[in-house]
Amino acid sequence: MLGHTPGLSMVELDVDPGGRIDGQFTFASAEPLGDTPLREEDLRDFLLAGVDVTADGARCEPSYGGSGVAETDALVLQASYACPAHAGEITLTLYYLNRLRPGHREVARIVAQGASAEALLTSDRRALSLRLPGASDVRARTGRRLILLSAAFTAFLLSLLAWRAWATRRRPPGGVRTS
């Protein structure tokens, strides 16, 4: 980014197939973050409380990665999110947009395995989702495995019941076998 337009911020999430998501949040340094002071612990609280990342609807555990100033007069905040591996959909929700001045916009982007989703978010539209490539393939394979496992278990139970019925018929009353 060569310059930063006040009232326009950027966030990019980079999704690793193993479940880790790295996020970079870029704000014009001259732009106030609502009522948030620019102390490190306040920036951490602003980011961790104001951003939600989910994988297939389950909240990913956030961790703050620190802050810095870019050459382009921008404040950069880093965070990462621990999500389940092989999720089908990642959703980013920016609750902090309600704390920023009216009219603030955020260019949001989620990038994963060659696919991406991008949108201009505002306090009226705070979320962006990306359906991950190959997610339906993983679910389909898992579903087929469960069906095969269930069929094998059912066959085992039926054979056990048949053996039990056969063994019961061969035993005379009183429990003594005759040959």
Written in H, E and C, the secondary structure of 14-47 is EECCCCEEEEEEEEECCCCECCECCCHHHHHHHH
Query: What pLDDT is attached to residue 142?
Result: 62
State the pLDDT at residue 31: 67
Are residues 92 and 24 in contact, defined by beta-carbon separation less than 8 angstroms?
A: no
Q: Which CATH class is domain 8-133?
A: mainly beta
- What pLDDT is stored for residue 123 in this prediction? 93
pLDDT at 2: 42
The whole-angstrom separation of Cα 64 and Cα 80 is 7
List, for the chain, all residue ranges whose pLDDT scores fall below the cut of 70.
Answer: 1-6, 29-32, 34, 135-143, 171-179
- Kind plus residue range of the DSSP H or E element containing 53: strand 51-55
Per-residue model confidence (pLDDT) at position 171: 65
Q: Residue 131 is encoded by which pair of tokens?
A: 């359906």
Structure tokens at 94: 């920016």
Pairwise CA distance, residues 87 & 83, whole Å: 8
Q: What is the pLDDT of residue 77?
A: 96
